[in-house]
Chain A
Amino acid sequence: MGIAQASLVVDSLNALNQAVQDTLETLSFSEALPVPQESYPPLHLPVYVTTVEVHRPYTGFIRLIIPRNMAISLVGSMLGSTGNLEEEWVQDGLSELVNIIGGRILAHLVDSFNSFDLSIPQTVCLDKELPSCDGILVRQAYVLNDEHVELELEFQKARAA
């Protein structure tokens, strides 16, 4: 890894941690603690995968992978709901969460006088196979609410378009 690439990884990781912690604290009053990936077992299926593509000034994507039960609990906490959540609310809540996290990451990484564009976030539920992590620039796991449930965020930032 060259110096430029290493610097990008460090910047991206800092931006990622700040964005995740600030956003979750504001939306759900939850503390997200970054933890080494290897200290937790692989995520259990089913998971929700929420992806927002970065269109400008980089190309790439930001992806959140979260176990289904944790997602329901997190979105319920965001909405202040303790009852059953409709599937549509869970997916919409995750999409908004990643939309905000993505915006904050890009606002941190991109010079403030340059615009950045994100796609509309998409959330899907996977119950057979986790998404591939090939080519991912930064991966980070988080623990929320002392529940020892893993929240994993994957981030890839490709070369400038």
Chain B
Amino acid sequence: MDKKILIIDDSRTARLFIKQCFEISGFTQCTFMEASQGEEGLKIMNAQEIALVITDINMPVKDGISMLREMRASENLKNVPVLVITSTQNAAREEELRPLKVEGILAKPLHLPNVSKTLNTLKTQLGM
């Protein structure tokens, strides 16, 4: 059965870029779902089994950090792997995200040669 990957970003352009990047990287046996902010993402996660969440940080309504805190406090969602893709990446951001146990933090714009190692690791983790 296809694994479900949820992309959460308030920009539809960013969601398209991320989806294309994952497809090119071999994430072909999966269904991509989309949400435009954290609250919408949590609703989808609570309704369906999601294999991987890819999220932005800076979003309206509920940002990525708040959403991640809720996920990690939830019995159902605490172990869902999360990859953060953000334009505000630096060492301080990595430190802020460390307790939230994310699989990786990638900076926008995604440049395939720079992110292929992280994506290959994720593929292996997901059994793809």
Interface positions, chain B 15-40, Cβ under 8 Å from A, are 16-17
Given the interface contacts A26-B111, A103-B107, does A110 sit within 8 Å of B90 by beta carbon? yes
Interface contact A95-B11, CB-CB below 8 Å: yes
**Residue with the highest number of chain A CB atoms closer than 10 Å, among B13, B59, B108:** B13
Q: Specify which chain A residues have a CB less than 8 angstroms from the CB of B91 in the assembled complex.
A: 112-113
- B75, CB-defined interface residue at 8 Å: no
Interface contact B59-A102, CB-CB below 8 Å: no
Out of A26, A92, A114, which one reaches B12, CB within 8 Å?
Answer: A92
Q: Specify which chain A residues have a CB less than 8 angstroms from the CB of B58 in the assembled complex.
A: 99, 117-120
Which residue in chain B gives the minimum CB-CB distance to A114?
B92
- A78, CB-defined interface residue at 8 Å: yes
- B88, CB-defined interface residue at 8 Å: yes
Interface contact A103-B88, CB-CB below 8 Å: yes
- B93, CB-defined interface residue at 8 Å: yes
Q: 0/1 per residue, B81-101, Cβ < 8 Å to A?
A: 000001111111101100000
Q: Specify which chain A residues have a CB less than 8 angstroms from the CB of B89 in the assembled complex.
A: 103, 107
What are 16 A-B contacts with C-beta separation under 8 Å? A26-B109, A26-B111, A92-B12, A96-B13, A96-B17, A99-B11, A100-B109, A107-B107, A113-B91, A113-B92, A115-B88, A116-B90, A118-B58, A118-B88, A120-B10, A120-B60
Q: A-contacting residues of B (Cβ < 8 Å)?
A: 10-14, 16-17, 58-60, 86-93, 95-96, 107-111
- List 13 other contacts, CB 8 Å, given A79-B13, A103-B87, A116-B92: A75-B13, A88-B12, A95-B13, A96-B14, A99-B58, A99-B108, A100-B108, A100-B109, A103-B89, A104-B107, A112-B92, A113-B91, A115-B93
Q: B-contacting residues of A (Cβ < 8 Å)?
A: 23, 26-27, 75, 78-79, 88-89, 92-93, 95-96, 99-100, 102-104, 106-107, 110, 112-120
